[in-house]
Amino acid sequence: MMNKIQLMNLAFDLAKQGGIKTFPNPNVGAVIYKNGEIIGKGYHKFFGDFHAEIHALNEAGENAKDAIMFVTLEPCSHFGKTPPCVDAIIRAGIKKIFIAMKDPNPLVSGEGIKKLKSKNIEVEVGILDSRAKKFYEEYSKRFSKKNSYVVLKYAMTLDGKIATPTGDAKWISSEKSREWVHKFRTKFDGILVGVNTIIRDNPELSSHSKGKNPIRIILDPELIIPINSKVIKDELPTVIIYSNKKDTQKIQQIMKQNKFLLYIKSKDGLIDFKKIIEELRRISIFSVLIEGGGLTSWTALKSGVVDEIVSFVSPKIIGGQNAITPVEGEGVKDISKAIKTKITHFEKIGEDILIVNKVIRNK
Amino acid sequence: MMNKIQLMNLAFDLAKQGGIKTFPNPNVGAVIYKNGEIIGKGYHKFFGDFHAEIHALNEAGENAKDAIMFVTLEPCSHFGKTPPCVDAIIRAGIKKIFIAMKDPNPLVSGEGIKKLKSKNIEVEVGILDSRAKKFYEEYSKRFSKKNSYVVLKYAMTLDGKIATPTGDAKWISSEKSREWVHKFRTKFDGILVGVNTIIRDNPELSSHSKGKNPIRIILDPELIIPINSKVIKDELPTVIIYSNKKDTQKIQQIMKQNKFLLYIKSKDGLIDFKKIIEELRRISIFSVLIEGGGLTSWTALKSGVVDEIVSFVSPKIIGGQNAITPVEGEGVKDISKAIKTKITHFEKIGEDILIVNKVIRNK
């Protein structure tokens, strides 16, 4: 026989095995116990993987009925890549659940517990409270800020272009600048681009071994992403934000590649960026690096979610009335209506000039 | 009775009165002497004014026939704003001419003397040689360089625009940057813009009392410049480069405003920039600041005449797929074909970043 402290400690030991790979999700472990025996164990292995509770329930199978579950963090009640864990727990017939800590994410905190209780499942929160607080210290910190941290980044030529009229963008900036960007990416939970950038450049959008990879987030309202894109084919996690549920075949194809589909309603073909940033917080993405293209950057800037702009100016001229510029979309008619920034830092990196700006928000 | 040294000294004293106002033309003075009397005096008063010889000939009138002329610099034989001086001298019936110095401009040097001699006018060169050498020291220096000095300057937003789609460009850069530009202009003999910039912005293109004003040069192949533009209406000198001789009424209107019309043949509606820079050297314009717009800048860059690019980046975003960028025209299809520059200097000026580049010429 094991006591609840031992069982919850085991759940934490399991959780730890996820390590950095679950980023930006927290590490979570789960144990299912019945009649003095452990009948299910699980942990969240990597971002995009099933949650810990699901692994444990799968191991327990039908035996989970009337069993007790130990889980290091409140089970989710929202629909992410996988259906909500609470639904699976309810369906499996778990009779009592010990939770080490409520989810610190204010957008979901308490919702899972409420739903479990509403189905008459006994819930006890706070087992191994001190270990939990320490274990989730970094994760909790991320909610201390009210707003997400959103940065827009691009590299343009000396004449303000990010690509030629035919879409050639390799490479605008120097190797040193690109290395700087790869390193810079490791500071973010997510890196977001419009689907046109994927179609045009088929980028890897990784830190190129400079550190942890941010989650790739592709803004693709109509779900037109080519299924053989690097961000779909490779093994790193990708979130695809879409608004068109009709192409079920495409949805199936993407899900088969273990990629995360996030549905957000669009209006006139555009998705509100405030909504995007909010939804990304729900799945633990609090800092986002937007890397274009022109329409995505404009939509993000206009919505007011962008905190900083990181711009590289490269000593090249490509000209062209139809060349592509860093921010396009509708734009403003009068200079007085421009979105204003304040340059907070600038330096030479390789052959290029790096200009860092704070976006000045209108009160 | 005065001797030739006294008379040439008088011509120099007259020349000096032109002062800075003849810039970029040299100061020139002329004296006409007949039967022991000075019957004509003249000096070049300001850029765009008649040459010294013409003023002196006008004063002498019909009396100039068989007189002697003293002139501080070789009379011109090329058609500038006014017809060649040598033609007027020949027509007036001058019988002998003393010239202090040959024109150091290799494009015209000796041509005037040759033509005068061909009409059997006696020519003596080198009177007051040492005063002449000193007097024209600065002017002569300008020919020591084989190439003119050409700089392209623009101010763009952080997203690479020089104007909104509706053409609003006031102001992209901060007041301090604009003051810097006004001062920078004083370093140039000429400041060149395309006629579209005149139509769109109706700029003054002056140093705004920060120093001497460069000659405004308007590239206007089809002669579509509005006759009420500031650069036509005001009293500062303007050179209009055109290729269409058909609109004689417009030509008359412009000449009435004392502006300088410079005819250069075009090809497919575009004037070769190498030819422009060469023709400007003929009229003593050796350094040119090009201030856009996009097509003019592209044409200049592509022709290989641009030595440096001075670019301001201003902390504003205006977006817009149809906004105007600093360099447009045809552009290049592949990044590898880009015109490359090397950043030689950068600093913050006011709210903006100034980036100075040397254009890397392909060997």
Q: Could you read off the pLDDT of A39-83 as tens digits, one per residue?
A: 999 999 988 788 999 999 999 999 999 999 999 999 998 766 667
Within 10 A of B355 (CB to CB), how many other CB atoms are there? 24
What residue of A is the nearest CA neighbor of B154?
A: A159
Residue B37 Ramachandran class (φ > 0 left, ψ -120 to 50 alpha, else beta): beta
What residue of B is the nearest CA neighbor of A297?
A: B319
Does A338 sit within 8 Å of B317, measured CB to CB? yes
Which tokens in the block code for residue A270? 């555009």
Please give, rounded to a whole number of angstroms, the shortest distance from the CA of A338 to a CA of chain B.
5
| Res A268: pLDDT | 83
What mean pLDDT is predicted for residues A139-155?
A: 88
| Res A144: pLDDT | 77
From chain A, the residues in CB contact with B352 under 8 A are 343
Longest alpha-carbon distance in chain A? 76
- Among partner residues A317, A341, A352, which is closest to B158 by beta-carbon distance? A341
**Whole-number Å distance between alpha carbons of A204 and A181:** 13
What mean pLDDT is predicted for residues A114-130?
A: 95
| Res B232: pLDDT | 95
| Res A282: pLDDT | 85
Overall pTM surpassing 0.90 (yes/no): no
Q: Is a pLDDT exceeding 70 seen at residue A232?
A: yes
Does B161 sit within 8 Å of A311, measured CB to CB? no
Q: Count A/B contacts: CB-CB distance under 8 Å.
A: 196
Q: Is a pLDDT exceeding 60 seen at residue A363?
A: no
Please give, rounded to a whole number of angstroms, the shortest distance from the CA of B328 to a CA of chain A.
4
What residue of A is the nearest CA neighbor of B312?
A: A158
| Res A267: pLDDT | 87
Backbone angles phi, psi at B97, to 5 degrees: -135, 130
Q: Is a pLDDT exceeding 70 seen at residue A286?
A: yes
**Whole-number Å distance between alpha carbons of A310 and B158:** 10
> What are the pLDDT digits (tens) for B177-229?
999 999 999 889 999 999 998 998 899 988 787 778 899 999 999 999 999 99
Give long-range contacts, CB 8 A cutoff, 24+ apart: A243-248. Answer: A243/A271, A247/A223
Give the pLDDT band (50/70/90) at residue B80.
low
Residue B24, preceding peptide bond in cis (omega within 30° of 0): yes
From chain A, the residues in CB contact with B338 under 8 A are 157, 316-318
Average confidence score pLDDT of chain B: 92
| Res B207: pLDDT | 79
Instruction: Report ipTM for this prediction.
Output: 0.80
| Res A198: pLDDT | 93
Does B315 sit within 8 Å of A341, measured CB to CB? yes
Which of A137-146, A243-252, A268-277, B26-35 is least confident?
A137-146
What mean pLDDT is predicted for residues A21-39?
A: 93
Selected for mutation to probe chain A from B321, B342, B346, B349 (highest A CB count within 10 Å) is: B321
Task: Give the strand pairing for B68-71 and B96-99.
Answer: parallel
| Res A33: pLDDT | 98
What mean pLDDT is predicted for residues A182-192?
A: 92
Does A338 sit within 8 Å of B157, measured CB to CB? yes
Does A309 sit within 8 Å of B319, measured CB to CB? no
From chain A, the residues in CB contact with B176 under 8 A are none
From chain B, the residues in CB contact with A201 under 8 A are none
| Res A81: pLDDT | 61
| Res B82: pLDDT | 67
What residue of B is the nearest CA neighbor of A301?
A: B317
Q: Which residues pair with A190 in a beta bridge?
A: A215, A288
Judge whether B53 counts as a catalytic residue: yes
Please give, rounded to a whole number of angstroms, the shortest distance from the CA of A356 to a CA of chain B.
10
- In sequence order, which residues have a C-beta less than 8 Å from that of residue A273 and are 6 or more positions away? A299, A300, A302, A303, A305
Within 10 A of A209 (CB to CB), how many other CB atoms are there? 7
Q: Which of B303, B346, B295 is nearest to B324 (CA)?
A: B295
From chain B, the residues in CB contact with A355 under 8 A are 158, 313, 353
From chain B, the residues in CB contact with A308 under 8 A are none
| Res A82: pLDDT | 67
In chain B, where do the E strands start and end? Answer: 29-34, 37-43, 68-71, 96-99, 122-125, 149-157, 190-194, 215-219, 238-242, 260-263, 287-290, 308-314, 316-317, 339-349, 352-359
> What are the pLDDT digits (tens) for A307-356?
999 999 999 999 999 999 999 999 999 999 999 999 999 999 999 999 99
How much of chain B exceeds pLDDT 70, in percent?
98
> What are the pLDDT digits (tens) for B254-303?
988 888 899 999 988 788 999 999 999 888 899 999 997 899 999 999 99
What mean pLDDT is predicted for residues A155-172?
A: 92
- In sequence order, which residues have a C-beta less than 8 Å from that of residue A18 and are 6 or more positions away? A27, A28, A29, A43, A44, A45, A46
Please give, rounded to a whole number of angstroms, the shortest distance from the CA of B355 to a CA of chain A.
8
Please give, rounded to a whole number of angstroms, the shortest distance from the CA of A275 to a CA of chain B.
22
Give the pLDDT band (50/70/90) at residue B336.
very high
Average confidence score pLDDT of chain A: 92
> What are the pLDDT digits (tens) for A148-163?
999 999 999 999 999 9
Q: Is a pLDDT exceeding 90 seen at residue A91?
A: yes
